Structure 1
């Protein structure tokens, strides 16, 4: 059976891993990644389209100056994208987040196993926790970088607005505000870092204790040597 210290440390790391797993599920399930205001120049007026969307779906509504509003519509992101590059990047972000979800699940399994037992294989110990938490954090960081690149660089909001209202033509301006579904990835990365730090402190303390026990006999006090 593991020591109380090991159980406490790995149990704490397990909680951070489970929290990370839950947050990634929220990121994938919610559709508040970004809110965009996209303006188009019409013949006699300016058309403004307001969108809120995530990786799978979103809502859009149209405003025509001076104040005419078209009812809100729901759309599927994949159906509204005609640009292959933008669609491929959305698919890549989804795949990356699924991989981070699996990494977080494996890390949770490793920390739980170490909290209740002493696995013999080295990789099932701290090394495995370091690996899966690092991969999870890296995957999420990549997703955080790719989404704004896709939004601004590939004109994601413009394409989605044109998919909602096909008559829109000349794009003039866009403004983007990233929502909680996007920013929640930041504390998820911090949870993975926290999990690594917790296990590092345990592993470092355990290593120091083993080295202390392996000191040469000549370093022991003279009165302790009985032979």
Structure 2
């Protein structure tokens, strides 16, 4: 049976990871970015694209002749465009799924260690370090890929054009604002690293205690040890 200290650390690690999964799950259902543009030749025309990971929304006001609001599946709409935007968005989706899987693995390993004493294998501290490290690194890559997709590509303009049709429209003065779904990745990464820190603190203390117990034998005179 594990010690109470080990139970506390591993249970706390599982709790931190569970909270991070909850935050990421909420992020999947809310907006990640909103891009607004001025629509010309219409003097007062504007267009806006609101993006979540799975569902987006297009809003147009006199762009070019009338307005309207329309929801659309993001990945399916990007597939019609092709190119870099759909590739980057596909990468983001895959990495988010992997983050959830590795976080789930970390929770299972932490709970297993809170009720048993496995050896130093993937079911021990190594498993927690590996799963949470991968989750944090992949989430950081998601941050970079998503912001690059909305800022460095013409994804928003091309999405607006698909709803306008064949009418020639110039979209200028693009302004992009990142939303809560995107920023929730930051506490997700923080909590994932916290889960690693909790296990490292316990593991380091256990290693230090083990060394202190071995030291009297190592420092004893050879005559006493032979006796």
TM-score, normalized by length of structure 1? 0.89
Counterpart of 1:177 in structure 2 is 177
CA distance in 2, matches of 1:2, 1:168: 70
Instruction: Give the C-alpha shift of residue 144 in structure 1.
Output: 0.5
Aligned length: 220
Q: CA RMSD in A?
A: 2.2
CA distance in 1, matches of 2:148, 2:183: 15
CA distance in 2, matches of 1:126, 1:79: 41
Counterpart of 2:105 in structure 1 is 106
Counterpart of 1:15 in structure 2 is 15
CA distance in 2, matches of 1:31, 1:194: 25
1:55 aligned onto 2:53: yes
Instruction: Give the C-alpha shift of residue 46 in structure 1.
Output: 4.5
CA distance in 1, matches of 2:121, 2:86: 41
Q: Which runs of 5+ in 1 are unaligned?
A: none
Superposed CA deviations along residues 94-127 of structure 1, whole A, max 9, x for unmatched, are 0011011100000001101001111135221111
CA distance in 2, matches of 1:95, 1:168: 35
Instruction: Give the C-alpha shift of residue 178 in structure 1.
Output: 0.7
CA distance in 2, matches of 1:189, 1:211: 33
Work out whether residues 41 and 170 of structure 1, in 8 Å CA contact, stay in contact via their aligned partners in 2. Answer: yes
Aligned pairs for 1:22-41 (under 5 A) are: 22-28=22-28, 30-41=29-40
TM-score, normalized by length of structure 2? 0.89
